Structure 1
Amino acid sequence: MEKRKITIIGAGMMGSALAFPAAENGHEVHIVGTCLDDEIIDGYLKTGKHEKFCRPFPENVSFHYFKEWEQVVEGSDFVIGGVSSFGVDWFLEEILTRLDPKIPVLSVTKGLRATDDGSLLSYPGYWMSELAKRGIVRDICAIGGPCTSYELVFMDPTEVGFCGKDNEALRMMKQAMQRPYYHISLTNDVIGLESAVALKNAYAMAVTLAVGLNIRWHGEEEPQHYNSQAGTFTQAVRETHALMLMQGGEFESECIGLGDLYVTIFSGRTRRCGVLMGKGLNYDQVTEALAGITLESLVITRIMGNAIRRKAELGLVDLRDFPLLMHIVDILDHGKSDSDIPWEAFTFEHLK
């Protein structure tokens, strides 16, 4: 395998986790913190380990403060963008406008941008459009799929997709990153894959709402009930499919997104949000209870809800086709913490 230089910009958990498969393949790996990551880089330099990871970083991973990024990135075969969705515009202005267009970029940032007509853009699509306005032409690839950072570090077998339009760059990045535990599919369906893994945020909250409702109704000591979770999951799949058709996504991307939905239901911040809302907390109470935790899923869900409402205003969709999404958006927007899930809206009659 050809040895490469890989620079990861953003010291969050997923960006940092991707250093492991890259370094284990013998590549030269650099993690550069954003302007908000100085304390994380301090810790990496001191201990060589992320506090939530089960293993220390491989020896061929080095750590740098943001002020060093332009020197560090020189000669990189590709850059991994590891910022959260709150850093999308920062990444555009501070990195993409100044990065050599010949260096491929692979983004881990999840989410969508809405336009005035309710269309939903992927972050790669948004970045490429904004760069084109400045006369900068580049393709931006992205990662999507069911992958939690700490389990990737644990080497639990993981299936993801890399998407983009530059086939040569995609194949190069796959060769650099794949490991016996990290399996990578390739697709040109950027909008499909990026939509699928963004949609899972809203629907993971919606499914775990049923967990919180069970606790509210029956108490903390009552075992989980799975009928209600299965009912919301079924509707989540139905609505995801409708939204993927609207986005023009492909079936394989939809499958990866449903895998991402599955893993998100069972772990992480989004699950905690859904459970708390089901227990009766409103938006402000959820954010207070999870103070200090980045709650991207809440922002992404609101963006999706507003986009679908706009499409409904234009007569392009029927809100009755998305009762689960609109229910979770109503909780976020209007604090409807005491309302039950709209179960009957999930039923249908397909008779001949």
Structure 2
Amino acid sequence: MQKVTVLGAGVMGTALAIHLAKQKNEVKLWGTRWDNVTIENYKATGKCEKLNTDIPSGVEFFLVDELEKALQDSSIVILAVTSDGIRDITESISHYINKDIIIANIAKGIEEKSLMTMSEIIEDSLSGQLKNIPVVKIGGPLRAIEVANEVFSEAIFASKNIEAARILQRTFKAPYFKSDVTTDIIGVEICAALKNSYAITIGICEGMYENMDNPKAAMIARGCMELAALVKAKGGNMETTLGLAGIGDLYVTAQGGRNRALGKLLGQGKSMKDALEEMKNQTIEGYSAAKVGYKLAKTLEEEGKLKLSDISLLAELYRVLFEDKPAVEALKDYWSN
């Protein structure tokens, strides 16, 4: 049994808290300033309506101004905030944690300015005796509602410190939840950061060829091949993309959600501007990820570690999202080259 603090009371943070509490861990769930109403509702009802489930009575709830109390005596801290909040939350918790803690992270992304992954940002934000704290990336095909409702799921825990990854593996283990461990944290991070972008291409195919499977299957396969090229160029293990972090997570992401929905509108011939307006300007994670991913690829090319021809699908997607190239034209150009 571990003492776990989950930071971030969105659906994924809440789902992880529910799962961990069911495994008899001591769980604290802390909400950011955007989660105050959510935390108060949890306290009042003991339910999460978005996940359609009760929250185990053992979960303790903490508001934004109770961070120090939420972290007290914890052995594992899980960061479940948005990617743009990772640096700030890591700096905030550094005042209240000690060197014996494990930091796990489920946020995904690459910082545009530095091109750092989330785990690299966490490591960069720690100083002094905290510099050697193990950082574990939680990856794989994990839909929050399924994790919370005991649907069979598999994850992968990645860390430079393999024993820290194994501790997470044991902490999460359940009859309906199993996992792998790996030291290839860069591979798991790259897959998590860019799978949303490749899900857009699958949506484009859906818009172009509704109810046809060949093109969508090709996008999944090619997406994983391009992820493998990027992972290798960053010093990771290409085989990571063949497992839970790569093809597993991409498959789940491509089954639905906003990334695929955007792609479908583009595949039906709508402009990027019109597609975003139809989606009421919702946040599309794959949109911003494609921009950063393409920037990363160009940087790796300049360093002699990658050829842009290795990521031709991502390059065409970039032209659709940021250079107003029609999606149908982009996919036809991809297939003809």
Q: Give the TM-score taking structure 2 as reference length.
A: 0.90
Work out which of the residue numbers 249, 259, 277 in structure 1 matches 2:236: 249
CA separation in 1, counterparts of 2:335 and 2:119?
A: 33
Partner residue in 2 for 1:174: 169
Partner residue in 2 for 1:329: 318
Bigger shift: residues 290-299 or 7-16: 290-299
Matched AA of 2:211: Q
CA separation in 1, counterparts of 2:171 and 2:250?
A: 27
In the superposition, relative to structure 1, how do residues 172 and 302 fare at CA in structure 2: closer, same or farther (>3 Å)? Answer: same
CA separation in 2, counterparts of 1:71 and 1:337?
A: 52
CA separation in 2, counterparts of 1:172 and 1:309?
A: 37
Return 5+ residue gaps in structure 1 as ranges: 215-222
Partner residue in 1 for 2:291: 302
1:6, CA displacement in angstroms? Answer: 1.1
Give yes or no for contact 2:229–2:238 (8 Å, CA) kept in 1: no
Partner residue in 2 for 1:49: 47
Matched AA of 2:214: N
In the superposition, relative to structure 1, how do residues 94 and 297 fare at CA in structure 2: closer, same or farther (>3 Å)? Answer: farther
CA separation in 1, counterparts of 2:183 and 2:264?
A: 35
CA separation in 2, counterparts of 1:292 and 1:81?
A: 26
Partner residue in 1 for 2:30: 32
1:183, CA displacement in angstroms? Answer: 0.8
CA separation in 2, counterparts of 1:75 and 1:135?
A: 18
Matched AA of 1:308: A
Give yes or no for contact 1:122–1:190 (8 Å, CA) kept in 2: no
Describe the superposition over 1:73-95 as per-residue Cα deviations: whole angstroms up to 9, x where unpaired.
10112111111112122223322
CA separation in 1, counterparts of 2:129 and 2:213?
A: 53
Give yes or no for contact 1:86–1:296 (8 Å, CA) kept in 2: no
Work out which of the residue numbers 194, 198, 221 in structure 2 matches 1:199: 194
Matched AA of 1:199: L
Work out which of the residue numbers 263, 267, 273 in structure 1 matches 2:256: 267
Partner residue in 1 for 2:279: 290
> Alignment partner of 1:37: what SS?
helix
CA separation in 2, counterparts of 1:247 and 1:63?
A: 39
Give yes or no for contact 2:23–2:172 (8 Å, CA) kept in 1: yes
Give yes or no for contact 1:97–1:131 (8 Å, CA) kept in 2: no
1:293, CA displacement in angstroms? Answer: 4.2
> Alignment partner of 1:112: what SS?
coil
> Alignment partner of 1:121: what SS?
coil
CA separation in 2, counterparts of 1:279 and 1:154?
A: 35
Q: Give the TM-score taking structure 1 as reference length.
A: 0.86
Please show how residues 132-151 of structure 1 align to structure 2 within 5 Å. Answer: 132=127, 136-137=130-131, 138-151=133-146
> Alignment partner of 2:116: what SS?
strand
In the superposition, relative to structure 1, how do residues 211 and 139 fare at CA in structure 2: closer, same or farther (>3 Å)? Answer: same
Give the paired residue count. Answer: 334
In the superposition, relative to structure 1, how do residues 98 and 301 fare at CA in structure 2: closer, same or farther (>3 Å)? Answer: farther
Bigger shift: residues 42-51 or 285-294: 285-294
CA separation in 1, counterparts of 2:297 and 2:283?
A: 24
Work out which of the residue numbers 3, 6, 9 in structure 1 matches 2:4: 6
CA separation in 2, counterparts of 1:42 and 1:285?
A: 38
Give yes or no for contact 1:85–1:296 (8 Å, CA) kept in 2: no
Work out which of the residue numbers 117, 126, 130 in structure 2 matches 1:131: 126
In the superposition, relative to structure 1, how do residues 55 and 343 fare at CA in structure 2: closer, same or farther (>3 Å)? Answer: same
In the superposition, relative to structure 1, how do residues 345 and 278 fare at CA in structure 2: closer, same or farther (>3 Å)? Answer: closer
In the superposition, relative to structure 1, how do residues 230 and 171 fare at CA in structure 2: closer, same or farther (>3 Å)? Answer: closer
1:42, CA displacement in angstroms? Answer: 2.4
Describe the superposition over 1:290-324 as per-residue Cα deviations: whole angstroms up to 9, x where unpaired.
34744322222210012223334555433223221
Work out which of the residue numbers 215, 218, 234 in structure 2 matches 1:228: 215
| Identical positions, percent | 30
